Amino acid sequence: MQRYFGTDGIRGRVGSGWITPDFVLKLGWAAGRVLGNGRGMVLIGKDTRISGYMFESALEAGLVAAGVDIRLLGPMTTPGVAYLTRTFRARAGIVITASHNPFEDNGIKFFSAEGDKLPTELELAIESELEKPIQSVESRCLGKAKRIEDASGRYIEFCKGTAPASLDLRGLRIVVDCAHGATYNSAPFVFEELGATVIRLGTEPDGFNINQGVGSTHPETLCAAVTQTGADLGIAFDGDGDRVVMADAQGRLIDGDRLLYIIAKSRLFSGALRGEVVGTVMSNLGLEQALKRLGIRFTRVKVGDRYILEHLKATDSILGGEPSGHIICRDRATTGDGIIAALQVLAALRQFDTPLAELAQEVEPYPQVLVNVSTPSPRQILDRPEVQAAVAAAESELGGCGRVLLRPSGTEPLVRIMVEGIDRGQVERIARDLSETVQGQAELGEQ
């Protein structure tokens, strides 16, 4: 069992648990011992939250103490760090980010030399080193740290290179919402340099406003901005740039399921689709049915881009994603990248000469309700007989025409409840009943 690593690195509230300067310093040392093997080079990027400065310094000190050279990227998206790790031939890449969480949280994500998430065995090796006392290498063997000044420029050019050479966005007015996060210094330039007129939103980070009322977790801001400015569409990212959602010209939200469908259809019609499309247990039944009409096989895996990528590799497939907007275009990048996914959607609009709204309408989502219930012990709550009985009753009521899913969050102390079916009223009532059952059990557990 992993003690520190979750489904997507290590994450939590700053100043508590593992998200403290002393722990992160030791984490840097342990990672340097395992990934740097006492030498080599490791890249460090971060999003825009205020605590990033503190943890950047802590990681730097730990890695240098392990004898590893450092290259500091400054504010950089998670997928940007993955890309630069490959191009610099680094031993590993590290991102200081809590993704879509508020600024009070932070975390550490790791990438291998190939730009992939670390395999479990390497995470366990780092955890094993964390149990040992820090022992610095001799002074002559200490690592050195340098800052890469043109990191954003390198990433911008990479993103542009993933779009067809013929892609011309002139004539398009696009609202680009960067969530006051890591895409603020890259995304607007990508779309502008391809010819679009960009209306900027969420591009003034101050260390505290990341994901605050903007970005992919608050898409209502994007949707309102599109209608208010008369833009053709809108694009919103999360704090570290690995998620994307969009809005059509009428200000209607286009989620990750429908964006994934549009990219899959584009790849199919251009003859570039390979293998199957991979979603998760949260993917809407409407996506599965729309892909089936195109003759595309669809497979579900556990929630988390790690599991999507594992299945893509195992089946030599190239496309996968989640409703939240994590979309992996494996023929373009090694991890989910919001900017790259958005470019693939824009290329599809040009390919089919069709507005975003029209392509998105080919997916008819089933009514789906998502509810989060806070509890310090989500896994134990889900094992309670009362909760399991409530789930069984809900599934029986849906009668095979819907789905019920309760799962512990991989990043927060929550039970996530999803109910999907044909009748919205029924779905909402079942979700409400399940949340009340889970909440009641959570309160009993706290007494």
- Map 350-404 to HEC letters: HHHCCCHHHHHCCCCCCCEEEEEEECCCHHHHHCCHHHHHHHHHHHHHHCCCCEE
pLDDT digits (tens, 9 = 90+) for 307-362: 999 999 999 999 999 999 999 999 999 999 999 999 999 999 999 999 999 999 99
pLDDT given at position 25 = 98
pLDDT given at position 43 = 98
* R_g (Cα) of the chain, nearest Å: 22
Residue 166 burial (10 A CB sphere; 0-12, 13-18, 19+): exposed
In the predicted model, is pLDDT for residue 173 greater than 70? yes
Measure CA of the first residue to CA of the last residue in the chain; give whole Å: 28
What fold is seen in the domain 10-149? Answer: Alpha-D-Glucose-1,6-Bisphosphate; Chain A, domain 3 (3.40.120)
pLDDT given at position 228 = 98
Average pLDDT of span 421-433: 94
Query: Tokens in use for 426?
Result: 């029924």
Instruction: State how beta strands 414-420 and 368-374 pair.
Output: antiparallel
pLDDT given at position 447 = 54
Rounded to 5 degrees, what are φ and ψ at 328? -105, 120
pLDDT digits (tens, 9 = 90+) for 127-138: 999 999 999 999
Instruction: State how beta strands 69-75 and 41-46 pair.
Output: parallel
pLDDT given at position 287 = 96
Nearest of 352, 437, 353, 348 to residue 387 by alpha carbon: 437
Report yes or no: 66 and 143 within 8 Å, Cβ to Cβ.
Answer: yes
List the catalytic residue out of 99, 112, 186, 216.
99
pLDDT digits (tens, 9 = 90+) for 52-93: 999 999 999 999 999 999 999 999 999 999 999 999 999 999
pLDDT given at position 6 = 84
Q: Is 302 helix (H, G, I), strand (E, B) or coil?
A: coil
Distance from CA of residue 211 to its chain's centroid? Answer: 13
Rounded to 5 degrees, what are φ and ψ at 293? -65, -25
pLDDT given at position 367 = 93
Nearest of 351, 359, 436, 364 to residue 393 by alpha carbon: 436
Q: Which CATH number fits domain 368-446: 3.30.365.10, 3.30.310.50, 3.30.2310.20, 2.40.10.220?
A: 3.30.310.50
Instruction: State how beta strands 92-96 and 105-112 pair.
Output: antiparallel
CA distance 314 to 310: 6
In the predicted model, is pLDDT for residue 392 greater than 90? yes
Q: Which residues of the chain does CATH 3.30.310.50 include? A: 368-446
Which residues of 17-113 form beta strands (DSSP E)? 41-46, 69-75, 92-96, 105-112
CATH superfamily of the 155-360 domain: Alpha-D-Glucose-1,6-Bisphosphate, subunit A, domain 3 (3.40.120.10)
pLDDT given at position 267 = 98
pLDDT given at position 2 = 82
What value does the mean pLDDT of the chain take? 95
CA distance 285 to 287: 5
Active-site residue 99, yes or no? yes
Residues pairing with 374 in the sheet? 414
pLDDT given at position 114 = 94
pLDDT band at 412 (very low <50, low <70, confident <90, very high): confident
pLDDT given at position 304 = 86
* Residue % of the chain over a pLDDT of 90: 88
Residue 176 burial (10 A CB sphere; 0-12, 13-18, 19+): buried
In the predicted model, is pLDDT for residue 224 greater than 80? yes
CA distance 397 to 325: 30
Average pLDDT of span 257-281: 97
**Cα torsion angle, 299, 240, 101, 6, sign:** positive
Report yes or no: 91 and 41 within 8 Å, Cβ to Cβ.
Answer: yes
H helix or E strand, kind and range, residue 328: strand 327-329
Q: Which residues of the chain does CATH 3.40.120.10 include? A: 10-149, 155-360
Report yes or no: 136 and 142 within 8 Å, Cβ to Cβ.
Answer: yes
pLDDT digits (tens, 9 = 90+) for 35-51: 987 578 999 999 999 99
Nearest of 255, 258, 260, 294 to residue 278 by alpha carbon: 260
Residue 29 burial (10 A CB sphere; 0-12, 13-18, 19+): buried
In the predicted model, is pLDDT for residue 143 greater than 70? yes
In the predicted model, is pLDDT for residue 445 greater than 80? no
pLDDT given at position 276 = 97
In the predicted model, is pLDDT for residue 226 greater than 70? yes
CB atoms closer than 10 angstroms to residue 445: 13
CA distance 442 to 190: 46
pLDDT given at position 38 = 59
Whole-prediction pTM:
0.90
In the predicted model, is pLDDT for residue 384 greater than 60? yes
